[in-house]
Copies of this chain bind each other. A is one copy, B any other.
């Protein structure tokens, strides 16, 4: 598997560099060549470079953990560093996303603070419906459940769902009325498809039952 290979190669490469550096230093010392000036020169240059390069070192450290902890895989839909999209490539240095406009984002791993992975095992399609306060709430709740059941029975959309509609009730008061909420468990990559189909069917159903009029 590619993820293990990437990490393994990185560790092997790092170990080689360490062994060569230490061995070289010891051999030079045995040959009577003073390594102090070389080290001092390297030290001054190293610090100057480290100031500028710390964000690159951070890229590799973060990338190492992204891979080892399996936070991001190719094909996932993620939100990192304020950018959301489908993952096209994960390396030790950056993650490449493509968003809904087809734009390609190169995100250096060190810029990633929190990884939001939208496609892990399941997701929920949440529907908020605003209605006036004198609406028959229970009738709306019933419409939500009926629409959900019809969707579950649909040969195209049913297999995309993982459960019945859950009605959450009167979620909050707004100046113009109240907000009613329900949700449905879906396959992780099908959340938006289910959500939009629920929106469409619910809007039509509320219209036909006279529960919401624009």
* Partner among B79, B106, B129 whose Cβ is within 8 Å of the Cβ of A114: B106
User: Is A3 at the interface (CB under 8 A from chain B)?
Assistant: no
A60, B46: Cα distance in complex, Å: 15
Instruction: State whether A41 touches B38 (Cβ < 8 A).
Output: no
A22, B120: Cα distance in complex, Å: 45
User: Is A152 at the interface (CB under 8 A from chain B)?
Assistant: no
A58, B132: Cα distance in complex, Å: 50
Interface string of A6-43 (1 = CB under 8 A from B): 00000000000000011001100100011101111111
List, in ascending order, chain B residues with CB within 8 A of A130's CB. Answer: 173, 175
Q: If the complex has contacts A81-B114, A116-B104, A199-B170, are A52 and B52 also in contact, measured as CB distance less than 8 A?
A: no
* Partner among B48, B124, B178, B206 whose Cβ is within 8 Å of the Cβ of A101: B124
| A106 vs chain B, min Cβ distance (A) | 4
Instruction: State whether B39 touches A21 (Cβ < 8 A).
Output: no
Interface residue count on the A side (C-beta < 8 Å) = 97
Instruction: State whether A114 touches B83 (Cβ < 8 A).
Output: yes
Residues of A within 8 A of B (CB): 21-22, 25-26, 29, 33-35, 37-58, 60-62, 65, 69, 71, 79, 81-83, 93-94, 100-108, 110-111, 113-118, 120, 122-124, 126, 128-130, 132-134, 137, 168-173, 175-178, 183, 185, 188, 191-192, 196-197, 199-200, 203-204, 206-207, 212-214
